[in-house]
Amino acid sequence: MLTRRRTLGLLTVAPASTALLPSVALAREPEVFQNPVAVNAIDPVAYFKQQKPVPGQAAHARRWNGAEWRFANENNANTFAANPEAFAPVFGGYCAFAASRGYLAPTIPEAWTLYEDKLYLNASLRAQELWLRDVPGNIAAGLGNWPGILG
């Protein structure tokens, strides 16, 4: 009986004592969605030039913003390197619809939108459909949440 009381006593003290310990920072999500390279190894420049997702090649990779980006050809790689902000997807390549709702989600290459010369990716075709219902409003909401939702 004495051991049980001591254990219960320790359990009631434990939450209070943890409040006195320094807090441990949780890891922040990377600024760029990587699976394992940026935006599923799809060439972001191709969305603008070819109007479709085109797989990038490791031979035409560039590093930017903490991630490896792959391109279909050297010309696209150089175009990106000259002005990455113009071609990188908004919200780091995470789902734009999810960002508008205050959370992060991965993306698929087929769910994309070019709007006012910016690239937006979505987690699914359904998320893209919801995104397209109010693109300006969703952008404003997403920008209000970004980059705080990275953690």
Contact at 8 Å (CB) between 138 and 100?
yes
Band of pLDDT at residue 146, cut at 50, 70 and 90: very high
pLDDT 10s digits, 63-80:
999 999 999 999 999 999
Dihedral sign, Cα of residue 149, residue 45, residue 140, residue 136: negative
* pLDDT at residue 138 in the model: 98
Could you tell me if 42 and 109 are in contact, meaning their C-beta atoms sit under 8 angstroms apart?
yes
pLDDT confidence bin for 5, thresholds 50/70/90: very low
Q: Quick: pLDDT tens for 18-47.
A: 334 343 345 788 999 998 999 999 999 999
Q: List beta partners, residue 114.
A: 119
For the CA atoms of 81, 29, 108, 115, the dihedral, rounded to the nearest 10 degrees, stands at: -60
pLDDT tens digits, one per residue of 110-142:
999 999 999 999 999 999 999 999 999 999 999
Residue 151 has pLDDT above 80, yes or no: yes
3-state secondary structure of 81: helix
